[in-house]
Amino acid sequence: MIFATFLLAQTANLTWYLLPLAMVVSLVYSTSRFELPDKILRRAVWLFIQIIGFMAIVFGVLWVLSYGI
Amino acid sequence: MSNVPPIAHRKPWEERSVVVALLLAVLVPGLGHLFQGRILKGLIYHVGILGLFLWGVKLGEGVVVYNTPERGGARRITLHYAAQLGAGAIAYPALWQQARLNQENRPIRQLEKPLTAAFSGILSAVDNDNEGGKLEGTVQLMPEPGEYGSETKGTFTGTLDGQPVELTLAGGFYLDPPIGAGFHRILKCGVASDQKKSPGSGQKIDGWIPRSIMDGYGVPPDPDQLQELTGRLGKLHELALVFTWIAGLLNVLAIWDCVQGPAYGFGDEPITTPTDEKSETAKTPESAQLNSNANPA
């Protein structure tokens, strides 16, 4: 149990790195799609939400599947 | 759907030399855009891509950017490095750093000239690495004539677990080669025996001194070093690699944008639905027409 908690803490710590990564990816990708700053920012925010949302769903599914293992 | 006519925009990427902009964008992320006067986009690319790349280098302790093609293999650049190359000139040093790892670049067992450097590591018993404490300070080492020729001796001045300490160093000296992967250069040295302690209580210092960026960046690590690093950093090292790869690949999008303009247009074009497309198949979108007619100022 202690080991599992330790492992989860380690993984969770690494997961935080995905937030800035997703932020940069969505901002740079949106910048390459549009020219107007307003559109770039709106699109980047939406893409960021989509990426994080998708990863959260995958995380949730994997967590449910691995429950009790 | 609104019928507000779109504004005709300038196309800055067509106003200045495409070749120069391309070269600048390939060399430094965002520089091509700055050359074209697209300041905001240039800054986003520059800070985003370079920031991600450098963050990856920091996370991986400098042992991230390198090219190690198989000997005799057809591929001269590994896929690992090809992705990093996209980030521009910041990845280029790995192209020539490998050639600097020649015969003369060996570990040093005996200093030929004095060395003073910041040191970080541990003080441990010679026969037990687990005993000891954390050292932070400065080492001063120099060659001195000894009983059997020249020996490396010196002092460590700094703190041991936060407490001030000064150690006399002698024997068992080892220093990593001048050129090597990463910004840490391993240094080991014995501590001259203390008269107060019992015989056999020998100690050593084991840690690292800084290596210059010129000698540590882009150098391929040897297998032992890579194993030690991946064992110590674990997934963090993989994440560091991923950061540099993604940064390199993102710059490909930036280069394309610099040369061809944004992929989806300016962003204020009217959205056409499938129904609109059917009814206006022969009609050119107004914004596209306006944009293509826009003359550079």
For residue B291, the model assigns a pLDDT of 55
Cβ contact, residue pair A28, B239, below 8 Å:
no
| Per-residue pLDDT, B199 | 47
Among A21, A31, A51, most B C-beta atoms within 10 A, so best to mutate, is A31
pLDDT for B45-54, tens place per residue?
A: 999 999 999 9
The residue of B257, B260, B287, B290 whose CB has the most chain A CBs within 10 angstroms, and thus the best one to mutate to test that interface, is: B257
pLDDT for B128 beyond 80: no
pLDDT at A64 over 70: yes
- Write down the pLDDT at residue B124: 85
A-B Cβ pairs (cutoff 8 Å, strict): 70
Which of the listed ranges A21-25, B7-11, B152-156, B180-184 does the model predict with the highest average pLDDT? A21-25
Considering only residues B261 and B5, tell me which one the structure prediction assigns the higher pLDDT.
B261
Q: Provide the shortest C-alpha distance from residue A64 to chain B (in Å).
A: 23
- Interface check for B176 against chain A (CB to CB < 8 A): the answer is no
Comparing alpha-carbon positions, the chain B residue that sits nearest to A42 is B267
Residue of A nearest to B11 (CA): A35
Does ipTM come in above 0.85?
Answer: no
Nearest by CB to A32, from B52, B55, B256: name it.
Answer: B256
More confident site: B161 or B297: B161
Mean pLDDT of B27-44: 96
Tell me which of A65 and B73 has the higher pLDDT: A65
Residue B220 has pLDDT above 80, yes or no: yes
Q: What integer pLDDT is reported at residue B267 of this predicted model?
A: 78
Question: Residues of chain A whose C-beta is under 8 A from some C-beta in B?
Answer: 10, 14, 17, 20-21, 24-25, 27-29, 31-40, 43
Q: Which residue of B has its CA nearest to A18?
A: B239
What's the average model confidence in pLDDT over A41-54?
Answer: 96
Which residues of B are less than 8 Å from A20 in CB distance?
A: 55
pLDDT over threshold 90, residue A46: yes
> Residue B201 pLDDT more than 80?
no
**Is B263–A43 a contact, with Cβ atoms under 8 angstroms apart?**
no
* Section B34-52 average pLDDT: 96
Contact residues on chain A for B234, CB-CB shorter than 8 A: 10
Of B131 and B37, which is predicted with more confidence? B37
B257 in contact with chain A, both atoms CB, cutoff 8 A: yes
Banded pLDDT at B43 (limits 50, 70, 90): very high
Check: CB of residue B158 under 8 Å from CB of residue B177. no
